[in-house]
Amino acid sequence: MNKQSNIKVLDVTVKAVFADMRLDKFLSKHFVEYSRSRIKSLIIEGSVSNGEFEVRDASYCVKPGQNFIITIPALKPAKPVGQKINLNVIYEDEDLIIIDKPAGLVVHPAAGNRDKTLVNALIAHCGNSLSGIGGEMRPGIVHRLDKDTSGLLVAAKNDTAHHGLAKQFADHSVERAYKAVVWGAPKFESGVIKGNIGRNPRNRKKMAIVSRGGKPAITHYRIEKKLEVGGIVWASLIECRLETGRTHQIRVHLTSLGNPILGDPVYGSKRINKQKNNISEDFKESLQLLNGQALHAYLLGFTHPISGENILFESGLPPEMAAVIG
C-alpha cells in the first residue's frame, strides 16, 4: 500500500495449474475481494502489467512463471452535495456567513463522515455562492471547529472574502474566545498557558505539550464561575482567549493544568473515571446531557474582508453546558 496516495499494489505469479487461463479469470480467482467485472475494468484501464508492459486484453492467456502487477487507484471521494440540515445563521451577507455550529456536527467531509456535515448544509443554503479556495471538499471553509465543539464559525462566499479572512487568521488578528467547563478549578483565577503543541509521542492520535518540536501555542484563561458542593469545587466555567490556533489547543492546555474539559473523550476520560463514584446524581445527570467536550466558541471578531468594518459576534452557552455549571 502506498500510504501517501492510498494506492494499493498487488502482484501474483502464475503457477502451472493456471496455464492458458484468461487473465481476468486468473486474477479474480487470486484476489477474491474484487469482482471479475472490477478486475476486467482495471485491465482495460491499463492498471495491470506483466512487469514489462501493460496488458489491456482481459482475454489474454496467462503463462506459467509470468508475474502480474495490479495497481488499484485510490477511490476519489464524491463531491459533496447539498443536504437540508438546520443551520443557526447568526449573520449573512453576499460575502460571508456566520454559523453557530452545534456540538456533534462535523465541519467538512472526510473519512468516516462523507456527508451530513456543515459543508453539505452550507451548499444547500448558499448554492454555488461559496469560495473554492479550500478545494471542492471544503467550499467556503476558512477555519474549523472540532466535531464536538460548538460555537461560531465564519465561511466565505467568494474567493476575495476567503483570502481576506484567511490572512487575518494567519496573522492572528481574529478575536476568538471560548468558554469551557472543566473538572475542578485551576490554581490561579487567571493566567497564561504556554507550551509547544505536537503529536503525543506515546499516542499519535492525541496532541500534547512537547519538549521538542511542535508549534508554539498560547492560551489566556480566566475563571468565570465555580460549581462548589459540600466544600468541593467540582467544576469551573473558564473563558479562554487564543493567541494561536493549534489543533486541540484549549483541550491540551487545560488538561496540562490538571483541569480537563468535562465530556472530553480524549483528554478527560481518566478524570471522570476517577471521580464518577464521588459526584452527585444531579451532576452525573447533567454530564450525560453533554454531546462531547463542554467547549463553546462564544466570541468571534474580525475586519470584514470587503467593507473593512470591524464586526464582533457572540453566542450564548448551549443549554447542556449551562445545565452543568448551573
Residues designated catalytic? 146
Spatial neighbors of 158 by CB under 8 A, at least 6 apart, are 94, 95, 129, 131
- Contact present, 268 and 287 (Cβ < 8 Å): no
Residue in the structure block whose three cell numbers are 508549534: 215
Q: Show the DSSP H helices in 181-318 as ranges.
A: 249-256, 269-275, 281-288
Which residue's entry shows cell 477511490? 75
Backbone phi, psi, residue 101, to 5°: -75, 130
Helix 36-44 and helix 23-30: axis angle, to 10°?
Answer: 130
Centre a 10 Å sphere on the Cβ of residue 160 and count the other Cβ atoms it contains: 14
